[in-house]
Amino acid sequence: MGLLDRFRRRPDESSGHHDEDAFDAATLEAAVADLWQPCVLLRPTGEAPSRASGSHVGGHPWMPPGSAWPTDPAGRPLVFVGQFDLGDLPRLPDFPDTGLLQWFVRADDTHGLTFDDQAGRVGFAVRWFSETSGDSSAAPSDPVPDRTDPDAGWDLFPMEVGADGPIAVAGVAARCLPRFVAVPDDRHPLLRRYATQLGEDPDDLDFVWEEYVAGPSSPLDVGRGSMLGGAAAFTQFDPRGTGAYAAADDPAGRQLVQLDADEFGGWGDLGIAHLFGDPGALAHGDTSSITYHWDCS
């Protein structure tokens, strides 16, 4: 029996009556109608980028002539994760319509992430270019600085895809659902009914939501994985509202980019990495609100 069959409204075969507590996919859709968030799914094309300023992971970033490669406080080159051309991706509310966002992380055994009161504020760099019509000093396939940490003795490039060369990224307009913590209490009775129909524990609503409504077993067309904007997913916990991270409902706590190991590999064991920040500030060239996080299972 498929998932849809498990909760599709159907007659009670023994009595000939409808089960009034049952509900179908349309009912579930209506119950979450006000919770959808727009996002742009980021998917590797398997092809090399066609231009230096295009969206891609790995390889060499677009760099204007004369610009220097970003380094850590010790002067070691950071690792280029990827870049995202907002002018060539589907539009998102509040996000800039054009511009190039680049992401770098420190080459160490935690990919730049720290675990003190500076977590999210150090160990990475972002660059924002509002205009990329000029030439680049390098092509995406050109060599990049050595990615080996001399203290660790191995290559610490954080993503498997793109490690052997740049991979172009395509964007798909989609919608996603928030994590269970943001679900209004008035939806809980419906979720309990849904859990009962699915044979799950009606008191474990967090699991029911994350698996069967917003997650991989949902009958709804929910955007998941790597994305611009949208709702953040975590393998362990949401850091926002702690330490240097702005709260999730603060403009600076919005998700800018999420890179998931499902599409891009790396980030530890099935990990997910994030850039959080105010997209409105980014539109004005202000990257000061941006923080960085990743976790893995």
Work out the pLDDT band at 14, boundaries 50, 70, 90: very low
End-to-end CA distance of the chain: 30
At 194-230, the pLDDT tens digits run 999 999 999 999 999 999 999 999 999 999 999 999 9
Domain count, the chain: 1
For residue 216, the tally of other CB atoms under 10 A from its CB is: 10
Residue 166 counted as domain residue: yes
List the one residue out of 279, 240, 203 whose CA is nearest residue 38.
279
Work out the pLDDT band at 16, boundaries 50, 70, 90: very low
Residue 189 counted as domain residue: no
Residue 12: is its pLDDT beyond 60? no
At 139-182, the pLDDT tens digits run 999 998 876 666 655 555 556 666 678 999 999 999 999 999 99
At 280-290, the pLDDT tens digits run 999 999 999 99
Residue 189: is its pLDDT beyond 60? yes
Query: Which residue reads 């939806």 in tokens?
Result: 187
**Cα distance between residue 110 and residue 163, in whole Å:** 17
Work out the pLDDT band at 232, boundaries 50, 70, 90: very high
At 118-151, the pLDDT tens digits run 889 999 999 999 999 888 999 999 998 876 666 6
For residue 243, the tally of other CB atoms under 10 A from its CB is: 15
Residue 18: is its pLDDT beyond 60? no
DSSP, collapsed to helix, strand or coil, labels residue 125 as strand
Q: Is 33 exposed, middle or buried (0-12, 13-18, 19+ CB in 10 A)?
A: exposed
Residue 188 counted as domain residue: no
List the one residue out of 290, 256, 268 whose CA is nearest residue 111.
268
DSSP, collapsed to helix, strand or coil, labels residue 128 as strand
* CATH number, domain with residue 161: 2.30.320.10
Domain region containing 238: 32-177+220-295
Q: Which 3-state string (H, E, C) describes 218-244? A: CCCCCCCCCEEECCCCCCCCCCCCCCC
Residue 8 counted as domain residue: no
Pair 218, 175: CB distance under 8 Å: no
Q: For the CA atoms of the chain, what is the radius of gyration?
A: 21
Residue 7 counted as domain residue: no
Any residues with CB less than 8 A from the CB of 2 and at least 6 apart, and which?
Answer: none
Element (H, E) at 264: helix 261-264
Average pLDDT, integer, range 59-71: 94
Residue 171 counted as domain residue: yes
- In this predicted structure, what is the pLDDT of residue 158? 54
Pair 239, 115: CB distance under 8 Å: no
Provide DSSP, 59-124: S-----TTPPPPB-TTSPBPEEEEEEEGGGS---TTS-SS-EEEEEE-SSTTTT---STTTTTSSE
List the one residue out of 81, 263, 247, 76 whose CA is nearest residue 157.
81
Average pLDDT, integer, range 21-26: 71
Residue 66 counted as domain residue: yes
Average pLDDT, integer, range 17-40: 80
Pair 158, 266: CB distance under 8 Å: yes
- In this predicted structure, what is the pLDDT of residue 115? 85
Residue 254 counted as domain residue: yes
> What average pLDDT is seen over the chain?
87
